[in-house]
């Protein structure tokens, strides 16, 4: 299943419109190219509807939020909805400021999202306002662990029902869920948290995977999360004694470029849960 999802991205080369943050915009573009997709970046309200109309999917990321881009996000999201294109929301830092939280909730109210991807703190903030976040990193009190993964799955499914979207909660253990079922994913490496933008790259990757696999969005989102984790592992294995987080970032993109369906199927570590 995972290999098929990957090969569909390679074959269909989905063009993904990104309204993303300026800290990681280049990495997101390169991640899309590496996976087999194609990126376009546009955040001006005067052109976003036109740009998104020629794309296969839309990725909205609020990481460097400003008043100028909020109307553009709404316009692009609503246009994508009218065209029935998949839309991904990355609510970076929701809970860190009133503006971020309000904007993410407004986007959820006015745009239908195919996938909402964030860390547990961000997703909790959107679900019920109970979450807290330290910048863009998950609060340690919210970590998904082997001991509480069952509760986290139940929470993700409940929020998916409320949001009418697939919910991807990423961290040491990743959860990808809709109202009917969930995947728990155990790939990745702790060093990935030492790089700015792995989450942003993943959201762009998810947009490409769901765009290339219509009708199988839950499986496609799972495949994207598995692919990112597998590439994090492969990249870490490549590190030399003098390599650090900058090399690691590049090695992750290299690993995505070289990833094939057989490697993804062989290295993916996940389980499906219906409850």
Domain ranges of the chain: 2-273
pLDDT score for 147? 83
274: pLDDT strictly greater than 90: no
d(CA 176, CA 159): 11
Helix (H) or strand (E) holding 50: helix 48-53
d(CA 39, CA 33): 7
- What is the CATH T-level fold of the domain 2-273, as seen in this structure? 3.40.1190
101: pLDDT strictly greater than 60: yes
126: pLDDT strictly greater than 90: yes
Band of the pLDDT at 129, cuts 50, 70, 90?
Answer: low
pLDDT score for 244? 96
pLDDT score for 44? 97
């Amino acid at each position: 299943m995972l290999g098929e999802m990957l090969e569909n991205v390679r074959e269909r080369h989905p063009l993904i419109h990104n309204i993303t943050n300026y800290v990681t915009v280049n990495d997101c573009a390169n991640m899309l190219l590496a996976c087999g997709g194609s990126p376009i970046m546009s955040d001006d309200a005067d052109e976003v509807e036109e740009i998104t109309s020629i794309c296969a999917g839309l990725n909205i990321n609020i990481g460097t939020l400003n008043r100028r881009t909020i109307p553009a996000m709404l316009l692009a999201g609503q246009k994508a909805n009218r065209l029935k294109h998949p839309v991904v929301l990355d609510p970076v830092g929701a809970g860190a400021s009133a503006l971020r939280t309000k904007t993410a909730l407004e986007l959820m109210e006015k745009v239908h999202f195919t996938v909402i991807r964030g860390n547990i703190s961000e997703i909790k903030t959107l679900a019920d306002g109970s979450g807290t976040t330290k910048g863009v990193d998950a609060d340690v009190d919210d970590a998904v662990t082997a001991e509480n993964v069952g509760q986290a799955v139940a929470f993700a499914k409940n929020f998916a029902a409320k949001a009418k979207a697939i919910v991807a909660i990423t961290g040491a253990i990743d959860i990808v869920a809709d109202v009917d079922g969930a995947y728990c994913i155990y790939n990745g490496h702790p060093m990935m948290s030492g790089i700015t933008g792995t989450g942003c790259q993943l959201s762009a990757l998810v947009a490409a995977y769901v765009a290339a696999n219509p009708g199988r969005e839950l499986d496609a989102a799972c495949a994207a999360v598995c692919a990112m984790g597998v590439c994090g592992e492969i990249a870490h294995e490549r590190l030399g004694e003098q390599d650090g987080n900058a090399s690691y970032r590049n090695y992750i993109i290299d690993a995505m470029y070289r990833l094939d369906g057989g490697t993804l199927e062989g290295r993916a570590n996940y389980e499906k849960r219906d409850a």
